Amino acid sequence: MVPRPRARFLPPEEVSVSSAPTEGSPEAFLRHLRLERGCGENTLRAYAADLRSWGDFCRRHALSPHVPSEEGVVRWVKDLELQGLGRATIQRRLAALRSWGRFLQETGQDSGERWMPPLPVKGRTLPQVLSEGEVERLFRACEGSHPLDLRDRALLELAYGCGLRASELAGVRLADLDASAGILRVRGKGDKERLVPFLGSVRDQVVNYVTHYRPKGIPESEDALFLSRSGSSLGREDVWRIVQKRGKAAGIPASRLHPHVLRHSFATHLIRRGMDLRTLQELLGHSSVTTTQIYTKVTIDRLREVYAESHPRALG
């Protein structure tokens, strides 16, 4: 059988649905992920970055990126470890390489047996969460009359009150808010939509920001809820900077702050107050309840600590 010519291995920074990528190329794979599997932009960028990492390594070491060898992948993993990448990141990159290989087989671009890199065991770490008191301190760190103070307070209230990912928070549009019904429309991973309650102080803070402090005179095309000082929409990195800035002002150690800290705190606090897993799964937008169960482990660990400190029979 005459082998098919290999496409140039150069995953793009952005994936276009209007272009016609070369058959069997990484671009064709990314297009498949978008159109056939409904992957969102963040997922596509992650896959492209992972495949670029493999392609760059192969170019540096004169290896073929199209047919991964066991020796080549082992060397790549060692190279990633030397760069200081964590186990979860390395696992994701190997998973991307495996997915691309399966795509080639399923589309007939690669006949015969293909060696698939095994996935390393991924350590399951418990999410860092803030106490309810620390969340209140974070909100108080936004006190002030400056529009950015009010914006940041509304942003943090919405992140904690609705359990949003950083990307979901940055992606909220004015049309997603239904203050009268107390409902927020959220676009999650893979552009999946869910509706979450939007009530109490969360709604009050957001409505106050939109009514009085969101920049005026902005073109209708710029309908993002949270805007910068110049009137442009915020990105995930901006959300992270706001969490860091207000967390520092609240006296919360930087080691305990991360982009999803308020989402994890939202879930953990609801579990501690008696919410069932299925309802929490719907609120968080998890495809599987197995993902949601991590928060019960956080709660059980905390209960164990309190028991050990408080119960007279806890010490042997």
**Closest C-alpha to 193, from 253, 282, 78:** 282
d(CA 92, CA 100): 12
Locate tokens 């150069």: which residue? Answer: 10
Catalytic hit among 246, 260, 264, 269? 260
What span, in angstroms and rounded, lies between the C-alpha atoms of 42 and 46? 6
Q: Tokens representing 243? A: 């969490």
Specify whether the CB–CB gap between 103 and 29 falls below 8 A. yes
- Count CB neighbours of 221 within 10 A: 5
Catalytic pick among 34, 92, 151, 263: 263
Contact (CB, 8 A) for 259 and 243:
yes
Q: Could you give the 3-state DSSP secondary structure of residue 102?
A: helix
Torsion of CA 100, 106, 111, 116, to 10 degrees: 40
Q: Which of 47, 160, 209, 295 is catalytic?
A: 295
Token pair listed for 159: 């992140």
Torsion region of 38: left, alpha or beta (phi above 0 gives left; psi -120 to 50 gives alpha): left
Lookup: tokens for 105: 């087989």
Tell me which of 66, 165, 214, 269 is the catalytic residue.
165
Distance, in Å, from the CA atom of 66 to the CA atom of 109, rounded to the nearest integer, reads 11
Look at phi and psi of residue 200 and say left if phi exceeds 0, alpha if psi is from -120 to 50, else beta.
left
286 is catalytic: yes
Radius of gyration of the chain (CA): 23
The H or E element containing residue 29 is: helix 26-35
User: Which of 34, 92, 153, 286 is an active site residue?
Assistant: 286
Q: Among 75, 102, 137, 189, which one carries the catalytic annotation?
A: 189
Cα atoms found within 13 Å of the Cα of residue 265, Cβ hemisphere only: 22
260 is catalytic: yes
Report the catalytic residues.
165, 189, 260, 263, 286, 295
